[in-house]
Amino acid sequence: MVTWGGIADDFTGATDLAGNWVARGLRTVVTLGVPDASDRAALADVDAVVVALKSRTAPADTAVGESLDALEALRGLGVEHIHQKYCSTFDSTATGNIGPVADALMAALGTELAVVVPSFPATGRTVYRGHLFVGDQLLSDSSMRHHPLTPMTRSDLPGLLGPQTAHRVAAIGLPVLRAGAERLRAELDRLRRPNDPVLVVVDAVDEDDLAVIARATADHPLVTGGSGLALGLPPAASAHEAMPVEPGHPLILAGSASTATRAQIAHARQAGTPARKLDIDALREDPGAAVARLVDEVTAHWAQAPDAPFLIHAVESAEDIRRETPEGARPAGELVEEALAECARRLTAAGARRLIVAGGETSGSVVQALGVRRLELGPPLAPGVSWAHGTAGDGRAYNLALKSGNFGATDIFTEGWRALG
């Protein structure tokens, strides 16, 4: 029976949450988009289902509508607990979409309180005194300050969330948490008021803190946060089958402009991985011809070294991020997503079956281009990153590692293949 359901605002976030549930012994499947009646039989014998949406930067009403559709589908599977999954760096604009979606889910579930827990200590994301840290930096001092879609220029979560929600926003500090689950539960009950919904930011700086929050909210119909909160659940007995490993060429598609991904690209190139950076000017002039040249280069490489990965990436340095779009021209981000999706289509037709994809938007575009509807999670690569197995409507099966731009060790593009055996 499906006990846990996740609603994730991007595809890498979905596999991030699913991977952490797998780490706690739950058999978990990701559906790429809202599951329909045809998916029910395949989901009947799993413990958790995560619905992957592309709603992080969508218009708020679109994000809310898709999230409510996901909730309805999950409740139809018998799900008892919902996890609204957003990025551990609280990626959002001044008006959403974290707050609007939380408000809508609370109303639909009839709950007047939900915790807000973006902490994921294993990746350096922690909350102390209501402020979100990335490593030893405040969020507002980290590289997220310059994110092209969701620049995070504040670190105080109540201040970030307040303009996004119609509800009260409260905070609970570490001293309450360290007094134990019963003390935290009592404080949450104190904040709960009839007809006055509240979102409660809860400090957490290590996994023991996450376990306290998980125990205190065990009977809550809704929690909101990053995937770290899933690691606070008690372990379940696991009886998972080994993930199938598909024979085929390895491919890396990196659309992320994050500092971590740029370092991973640099490491792969220095290690000798054949690579090609997308030529934005060529894509503007003739996208079909630019992609065709890339595909020819990659297939020529595989003809000589069929088991060696090839890396196609969008950004190499900070200068690439600052490059201005000419007046009247299409934004580089749109060109990148379309080009990488088309590369995925053509290169999987040429035999690619093992793909590492970096970036939430890129992952969504690639998986949709391949026509994969469900992913079952396999071995982890890094905190928040796991291999997965999925089959497309045309019968082709793939191993996919969908990586948030900021996640993964520097050598993930060169060493990540080892986890496949």
Q: CA–CA separation, 142 vs 154, rounded Å?
A: 10
pLDDT in tens, 335-356: 999 999 999 999 999 999 999 9
- Residue 195, preceding peptide bond in cis (omega within 30° of 0): no
137-138 and 131-134 strand pairing: antiparallel
Q: How confident is the model at residue 44 (pLDDT cuts 50, 70, 90)?
A: confident
pLDDT at 412 over 80: yes
**Average pLDDT over every residue of 211-239:** 91
pLDDT in tens, 76-99: 999 999 999 999 999 998 899 999
**Pick from 23, 19, 18, 24: which is nearest to 6 by CA?**
18
Q: CA–CA separation, 365 vs 377, rounded Å?
A: 19
Q: How confident is the model at residue 319 (pLDDT cuts 50, 70, 90)?
A: low
User: Which pLDDT belongs to residue 224?
Assistant: 98
Q: How confident is the model at residue 410 (pLDDT cuts 50, 70, 90)?
A: very high
Give pTM, 2 decimals. Answer: 0.88
User: Which pLDDT belongs to residue 236?
Assistant: 82
| Share above pLDDT 70 across residues of the chain, in percent, rounded to a whole number | 97
* Tokens at 361, concatenated: 């938007």
| Share above pLDDT 90 across residues of the chain, in percent, rounded to a whole number | 81
Instruction: Name which residue leads in pLDDT, 137 or 421.
Output: 137
Residue with tokens 């934005």: 280
Minimum mean pLDDT range among 60-74, 84-98, 165-179, 325-339 = 325-339
pLDDT in tens, 102-146: 999 999 999 999 999 999 999 999 999 999 999 999 999 998 998
pLDDT in tens, 14-29: 999 999 999 999 989 9
Q: How confident is the model at residue 239 (pLDDT cuts 50, 70, 90)?
A: low
* Tokens at 1, concatenated: 């029976």
